[in-house]
Structures are given as structure tokens and as C-alpha cells.
Structure 1
Amino acid sequence: MSAGLFGLLDDVAALARLAAASVDDIGAAAGRATAKAAGVVIDDTAVTPQYVQGITADRELPMIRRIAIGSLRNKLLFILPAALLLSQFAPWLLPVILMIGATYLCYEGAEKVMARIFPGSHGHEAHATPTAVTGEDAEKTMTAGAIRTDFILSAEIMVIALDEVADQAFWSRLIILIVVAIVITAAVYGVVAAIVKMDDVGLNLAQRSSTFAQKFGRGLVAAMPKVLATLSAVGTVAMLWVGGHILLVQSDALGLHAPYGLVHGWEESVHHAVDGVGAVLGWLLNTGVSAVLGLVVGAIVVAVVHVLPFGKKKAH
């Protein structure tokens, strides 16, 4: 009887170790998937504060909370089931969808670059600042607009994450994508809430009696436009990098091996040529080439949308 009890305990311990390993694997995969979606996450963080401009301070956080709930609903109720069905029954479509999404990322990034270089052009920012609305439906209208914009960004995030875990079992994919959806939504809108309230914190500190608090508060208020501008710039570069890298990897998956093979060969050469920092330099080379490719592809799409005759009609 004692032998049977010890055998049972041994089996339970083995199952516990297996469960712990599975949790570790799921956590690691979720981390990789979240990191790969960084470009869209940064862009989302830079875009969302625009939607609370003109809203009274006491309504900013409730509005951000409603947008965050809408974002999570987008990911879990609409995008996640579609992504799982796709990966389960038509996985061959995933590279094509990823390349379409990557091209859209490149287009967004290139359009922002063009708007910065040619500010007087007819192009527009990929995420236009919402038109001001008045009346009792103003908050509802702007919240709905933010959630619609978030749907596109959330779809990009979830598809990129899905590609990272496509080789996992169905239930692992489900858990990982749920974790990614919750973590990214909490991170994005937590940062957005902090950014939006920094002005109020700065103004409050500027009214204190302490000279240090006053200076720090005024510094916060003055720094926020620069913080938002930096986030926007980093988001643009990240979109071009992620979009270009996805195009390289997925074109290789579809049989066009030369572009990815060439860039990977350069990365390996730098990796082995420089001791110590070779891996970092190789990664930077790959990232730079991916960003340039993303900019070129995005510029071509911008030309198609805004320069060619039918593109002009659409823009008009």
C-alpha cells in the first residue's frame, strides 16, 4: 500500500513538473510574441492620447478605460477566434495575411516619414487626429473612433503574435494569445493613462509652495509634447522595422529565398567577424536593412495611394 502511495505521489510530482514546464513554455512564447508586436504597440501608445484632447480632466481616465475595454473586446471576441480558426484550418493563408499586414505597417510608417519630410504635401498621417466634436455625444463619438482605430492595430498585433506561436498546440495557442491580448492592452493603456495625466500632475506640482516641486512640475508640462513626439518617432521606425522584417521572413516562407538569405548572410558575417558585440551588430544590421526595406515598400504603396490618378481621386 505504501509503495502504491509513493508511486502515486511520484506520478503527481511528474505531472506537476510537466505542468510547470508547460507554463514556462507558454510564458516564454507569450513573451516572444509580445516583443515581436512591439512596433504596433509603440504606435498604438503614441496614437491613443490624441483621442482625449479637448476632454475635461475628470473624464480622461474613464474615457481611456472605455477605450481599453473596447480594445480588449476587439482582441478577445473578434480577432482571436478568427486567428485561431485561420491557424487551425487554413494555416497556409497565414504568410499571405502577414505580408498584407506588414505592407500596411510599411505604408503607415512611410506615410509618417513623408508627412515629416514634406509637411505641405497632400498625404496624411496614418492615424489622423480626431476631429473635435461638441455636445453630449462628443465622448461617445471619440471613444468609438478610438476603438475602430484600435481594431486595425489589434489585428496586426494578434496576427504577428499568432505567427510566433503557430507551431504550438491549439490550447497553448489559445492561452498564449489571451495572455498577449491582456498584457499588451494593459501595458498600452496603462502607459497612455500615465501620459495623459502627466500634464495634470505637472500643473499640480507647479502650484506647490516648494521651489523644487514647482520647477519639476513645469518641467513635466514642458516635456510631455517632446515625449509624445519621441514616442511617435520610435513607433514609426519600429513599424518600418517590423513590417520589413515580416516581409523578408514570409517571402522566404513562400519560396522567395534570395532576399532573406542575403540579409541573413550579412548578419551572420558580422556576427562572426566581431568578437563580443558581433551578435548585437548583426542584429542592428538586420534591423536597419529591414527598416530600409519597409520604407521602400511603404513609399511605393504611398505613391500608389496618393500619386497615381486613382489614388488622387480616392484621397480627394
Structure 2
Amino acid sequence: MASGLVALLDDVAAIAKIAATSLDDVTAAAGKAGAKAVGVVVDDTAVTPGYAVGFTPDRELPIVFKIALGSLRNKFFFLLPGALVLSAFAPWAITPILMLGAAYLCFEGAEKIVEALNHEDHADEPGELALSSTELEKAKVTGAIRTDFILSAEIMAIALADVADRPMAIQAAALAVVGLGITIGVYGVVAMIVKMDDIGLHLAKGKRAATRGLGRGLVKGMPHVLDLLTKVGTAAMLWVGGGIIVHGLDHFGVSGLEHMIRRAAEFAGTLPVIGAITGWLATALASAVVGLILGGAIVGGLRVVRPHHRCLTPRA
């Protein structure tokens, strides 16, 4: 009896060890895959707060919550199963799909720059002005979830490309961890951003002068923060999109751009003390230039074909 119990405990210990190893594999794979998607995450975080702007304070968090639920639905009901099917039956398609999504990111980034230079504003279009607040909220949430689908698809594709050589169970678990972690992180930050002005107003009524000053600073500073987020999001679109295009071309044997950017980064990385930063900046800047050229070409082509073209995804 005792020997049977010992054997059972040995089996349990062995199973626990295997489970711990698998968990370590999932955590490591998810961490590495999630890090590769950071640029798209920055863009997602920068774009989303605009969808909650213009509503009463009591509706801001519910709107963010609805978009977050829609994002989870996108990832777990559509993108995760689709990614696993792709990995199992058409792994050769991962890189082309990544490049297609990257081209879209480049297009979006370039179009934002064109709109800013031409002072184009879509905020108060007649269709929006005719809607009630409930209808407008529904339209904004739907538009945000649709935009999130595109960004989430790129995040999941980037993550899948990094774990495609792992067993299917590890792939599924890693993609689930990446999807859940990124959604919580992005929409937690978004919720903080959209409520920051309300926090500022509350602090501005405080008894201490320092607290009131901090509150007034938050209220005055938030428009500048949102503007900065828009610019960061645009830059992230271009550098991530351009970088994926460069790596994709290298994957298909067109390696000239990849080698040029690598040499530039190596040269910039030789600077003392700040070499790691300047090397990364050189890579990001070169990738952004590639993204801007490609995105600009797509925007120009669309505006020739469709002179009254408006962006494919709803603006905040």
C-alpha cells in the first residue's frame, strides 16, 4: 500500500513538473511574442481614447468597457481560432498576411499625416451631428471595435509568427496570454487617460495648494497629452508597419533594405554610452521612412482612384 502511494506521489510530481515546464514555455513564448507587438499596442492605446471624447463623464468608462469587451471578442472568438487554423494548415501565409496588415498600418499613418498637413477634419460630419447621443455612442463603439479588429489581427499575427515553431498547445496558450494581457493593459491605460481630467477637477477642489495646482495642471495638460498620443500612435504605425515590410521582403529574398537598415543601426550603435538607444532609433527611423513611402503611395493611389476618399476606419 505504501509503495503504491509513493508511486502515485511520484506520478503527481512528474505531472506537476511537466505542467510547470509547459507554463514556463507559455510564459516565455507569450512574453517574447508580446514584446514584438509593442508598436501596435502603442498605436492601439493612442487611438482608443478619442472614441470616448465628447461624451458626459458618466459614459466614458462604460464606453471604454464596451470597446474592451469587443476587443476580447475579436481576439478570442475570431482571431485566435483563425491564427491556429492558419498555423496548422497554411503557415506559409503568415508572412504575407503580416505584410498586408503592415501595409494597412503604413496607409493609416501616412493618411493621418496628409490630413494633418491639409488641415482635414472629420470630427463633425453631418451624419454624426444628426445622431442622438445613444446612437452616436453606439456608432463610436462599433467603429472602435472595428478598428481594434484590424490592430488586434496585426498583434496576433506578429505573436503567431514568433511562436509558429512551437507545439499547437503552446501556440494557443501563448496567443491567449498575449491577447488577454494586451487587452487588459491597453484598456486599463485608456480608462486612466479618459478619466484623468475628472481626476484633475477633483484634485483642483482640494484643500492644499499643491493638490489644487496638480489638479489644474492635469486639466490643462490632458489636451496636450491626447495630442501627443495621436502623434506617437502615428509614428508607431509607420515604424512597425515599415519594419514588418522590410523583414517580410527579407523573408522572400529581397534583402537589400534589411541589410542597409542593419548597417545603419550598427553604425549608430557604436556611439559611447547611448549606443543602444541610437541604434534602436536608427532602426525605427529607417523603418518609419519605409512605412511613410509605402503608405504615401497607397494614399496617393487611393485619392487618384477615389478623389473624395475618406479613411477606411472611422475616426475618433
- Per the normalisation by structure 2, the TM-score is 0.87
The residue that corresponds to 1:44 in the other structure is 44
- Which of 246, 249, 252 is 1:248 aligned to? 246
User: Given residue 75 of structure 1, which amino acid in structure 2 is its aligned partner?
Assistant: K
User: Given residue 156 of structure 2, which amino acid in structure 1 is its aligned partner?
Assistant: M
* Cα pair 1:80 1:158 within 8 Å, conserved: yes
The residue that corresponds to 1:74 in the other structure is 74
User: Given residue 290 of structure 1, which amino acid in structure 2 is its aligned partner?
Assistant: S
The residue that corresponds to 2:183 in the other structure is 185
Measured in 1, the distance between the counterparts of 2:283 and 2:136 equals 45
The superposition leaves residues 204-258 of structure 1 with CA deviations (integer Å, 9 ceiling, x where unpaired) of 1112232222211111101111111121112211211111111111111122222
The residue that corresponds to 1:119 in the other structure is 118
The superposition leaves residues 163-219 of structure 1 with CA deviations (integer Å, 9 ceiling, x where unpaired) of 121111111111111111111111111111111111111111112232222211111
User: In 2 relative to 1, CA 267–213 (structure 1 residues): closer, same or farther, beyond 3 Å?
Assistant: closer
The residue that corresponds to 2:230 in the other structure is 232
User: In 2 relative to 1, CA 237–137 (structure 1 residues): closer, same or farther, beyond 3 Å?
Assistant: closer
User: Given residue 290 of structure 2, which amino acid in structure 1 is its aligned partner?
Assistant: L
User: In 2 relative to 1, CA 206–239 (structure 1 residues): closer, same or farther, beyond 3 Å?
Assistant: same
The residue that corresponds to 1:149 in the other structure is 147
- Establish whether residue 311 from structure 1 lines up as the match of residue 306 from structure 2: yes
User: Given residue 39 of structure 1, which amino acid in structure 2 is its aligned partner?
Assistant: G
- Which of 295, 302, 307 is 2:299 aligned to? 302
The offset of 1:70, in angstroms, is: 0.9
The offset of 1:277, in angstroms, is: 5.1
Query: Unaligned 5+ residue runs, structure 2?
Result: 312-316
The residue that corresponds to 2:163 in the other structure is 165
User: Given residue 80 of structure 1, which amino acid in structure 2 is its aligned partner?
Assistant: L
* Cα pair 2:33 2:178 within 8 Å, conserved: yes
* Cα pair 1:95 1:254 within 8 Å, conserved: no
Query: Unaligned 5+ residue runs, structure 1?
Result: none
The residue that corresponds to 1:106 in the other structure is 106
User: In 2 relative to 1, CA 89–184 (structure 1 residues): closer, same or farther, beyond 3 Å?
Assistant: same
User: Given residue 33 of structure 2, which amino acid in structure 1 is its aligned partner?
Assistant: A
Measured in 2, the distance between the counterparts of 1:136 and 1:282 equals 49
RMSD between aligned residues: 2.6
Measured in 1, the distance between the counterparts of 2:52 and 2:268 equals 46
Measured in 1, the distance between the counterparts of 2:284 and 2:27 equals 25
Aligned residues: 308
Residue 167 of structure 1 aligns to a residue whose secondary structure is coil
Residue 231 of structure 2 aligns to a residue whose secondary structure is helix
- Establish whether residue 287 from structure 1 lines up as the match of residue 280 from structure 2: no
Measured in 1, the distance between the counterparts of 2:6 and 2:276 equals 49
- Establish whether residue 204 from structure 1 lines up as the match of residue 239 from structure 2: no
Residue 110 of structure 2 aligns to a residue whose secondary structure is helix
User: Given residue 151 of structure 2, which amino acid in structure 1 is its aligned partner?
Assistant: L
The offset of 1:110, in angstroms, is: 1.6
Measured in 2, the distance between the counterparts of 1:178 and 1:148 equals 20
- Establish whether residue 222 from structure 1 lines up as the match of residue 217 from structure 2: no
* Cα pair 2:99 2:248 within 8 Å, conserved: yes
The offset of 1:69, in angstroms, is: 0.6
- Per the normalisation by structure 1, the TM-score is 0.87
The offset of 1:11, in angstroms, is: 5.9
The offset of 1:5, in angstroms, is: 6.8
- Establish whether residue 61 from structure 1 lines up as the match of residue 58 from structure 2: no
